[in-house]
Amino acid sequence: TTPVSVSVSRSASTISLAVKDFVESYNDLTKSLSDLGHYSYNKDTKASDAGALQGENALRSVQSQLRSVLGGV
């Protein structure tokens, strides 16, 4: 067999960009989940507004699991 040489190096800029992209994606997801589950009521106009999944246990479960996976962030 022929020897193979493997070189491994750390790229701080690549890691930094990957973390930044992950954080932005996570924040976008949590904003979307929040919008889907929101509820608001205006006392003056007596109008209410609710997200499409407001009150759904599945939505809260997804939010909880995400927080758990990421260490309660």
Amino acid 42: pLDDT: 93
Amino acid 72: pLDDT: 59
- The H-or-E segment that residue 49 falls in is strand 47-50
Among residues 49, 51, 46, which one has the least CA distance to residue 34? 51
Phi, psi (5° rounding) for residue 67?
-60, -40
pTM of this prediction? 0.72
- Name the residue with higher pLDDT: 16 or 73: 16
Spacing of C-alpha 3 from chain mean position: 44
Amino acid 71: pLDDT: 80
pLDDT 10s digits, 20-56: 999 999 999 999 999 999 999 999 999 999 999 999 9
